[in-house]
A = this chain, B = another copy of it.
Amino acid sequence: MSVTVADVEAARRTIAGRVLRTPMLPAPKLSALTGAEVYVKYENLQVTNSFKERGALNKLASLNELARARGVIAMSAGNHAQAVAYHAARLGIPATIVMPVTTPFVKVEATEAYQAEVVLDGETVSEAQMRAEALARERRLTWVHPYDDPLVIAGQGSIALEMLEDAPALDMLVIPIGGGGLIAGNAVAARARKPSIEIIGAEAALYPSFWNTLRGENRPLGGPTLAEGIAVKNVGVLALPIVRELVAEIVLVDEAHLERAVYAYLTLQKTMAEGAGAAGLAAMLVKPEKFRGRKVGLILCGGNIDPRILASVMVRELEREDRIVSFRLTIPDRPGVLGQIATRLGELGANILEVDHRRLFLDVPAKGAKLDVTVETRGQVHGEEIFEALEAEGYQPVWIDTATTME
């Protein structure tokens, strides 16, 4: 294999003291949620909030004086961009980061904050990639690949060494898969340290590139996903043989489970995971029987989620739990009815969040009006009680979906 545990150990020495040795802690509430004994490795606490610094720094540190003077280049709109920019700046190496023109402004800003030159070029990722390759040749810059480089893979593998030092009894590691650099490095390191450990990959169901390749399937790839950090259409050339040999199983995670996992990290573990960072936990929620009773290590590999998207996930999850519900009521169009309903909802213990009184809309019968009320409840059972009480009072309630409010 292209990467050995000796490479990972060397990487660990190289990056020691310059990349955070992140906390690895038991997560009792996630254990209660999943039925497994869960430990979390908080890579979201790195300076740029993802594990990508490990591989990027290991690569940068390997460059000779001449290569450092010329500078490095990477193509990424995400965590790899910030990791390369941050450590290049620390080492005094000029960094050029190419991103597609459609990249959200906040990601450009976050990378420029570390003094990198950001080049916006190409409508798509592959166009940006071609432009970056041309630029690399033209300016004689060293390419820092996000995953298809032995030094990058070895750097990522340092995570598993730390995890097994802190929790030697682990039975399994569940690791997100995009291009495969993270899982490959950690599979090599973990299986060398503890041959019995089982490595499970968590891949986005919308981007099943390793799944397809390993199983000879041809599932479609693409679409918007919360786990953009692992939305990769190709398998890493170096990672593939490692994954084939050392990874026991790949679990595909759909968007609903990714959202639930992000929400669980936030509300139960009080930490912020991006979609890709929560993919391992999502895999546990998809296949709980696989993990029940086992000691499972999760790599929370990144925390860079847009606050607006996080707010939207939170509101949707609260609705899924029926802690926020909306009804459309039909009410007689006379004074005082709104007050009566509000009072009745108060008696029922429902906290009114929003009222929309559409008495002037065309679809309202002449003698009545529609009232949309959104209330906070104590959960599903309470929501149903409120519904029944409103029905008993003759308001003809209809459940409506308000998730769209935040979307």
Can you name the residue of chain B whose Cβ is closest to the Cβ of A273?
A: B270
Residues of chain A from 228 to 280 with CB closer than 8 A to chain B in the complex: 263, 266-267, 269-272
Given A23-B23, A311-B315, check contact A28 B47 (CB 8 Å). Answer: yes
Surface stretch bound by B, among A56-64, A155-163, A186-194, A302-310? A302-310
Can you name the residue of chain B whose Cβ is closest to the Cβ of A321?
A: B307
Contact yes or no, A270 B303, CB < 8 A: yes
Say if the beta carbon of A79 comes within 8 Å of chain B: no
Contact yes or no, B308 A311, CB < 8 A: no
Kindly list chain B residues whose C-beta atoms are within 8 Å of the C-beta of A45.
23, 25, 269-271
Kindly list chain B residues whose C-beta atoms are within 8 Å of the C-beta of A106.
378
Task: State how many copies of this chain the complex holds.
Answer: 2
A46 CB → nearest B CB, Å? 10
CA distance A267 to B305 in the complex (A): 8
The 8 Å CB contact of A307, one of B266, B307, B354, B362, is: B266
Please report A residues at the B interface, Cβ cutoff 8 Å.
20, 23, 25, 28-29, 42, 44-45, 47, 49, 105-106, 263, 266-267, 269-272, 303, 307-308, 310-311, 314-315, 317-318, 323-324, 353-354, 360-362, 376, 378-379, 405-407
Closest A-B pairs by Cβ, 4 of them: A270-B303, A270-B272, A105-B378, A23-B23
With A267-B307, A308-B314, A353-B407 given, name 11 new contacts (CB 8 A): A20-B25, A45-B271, A106-B378, A266-B272, A271-B271, A271-B272, A307-B317, A310-B314, A311-B311, A354-B405, A360-B362
A sample of 7 inter-chain contacts (CB < 8 A) reads: A28-B47, A44-B270, A271-B271, A308-B318, A311-B311, A311-B318, A360-B361
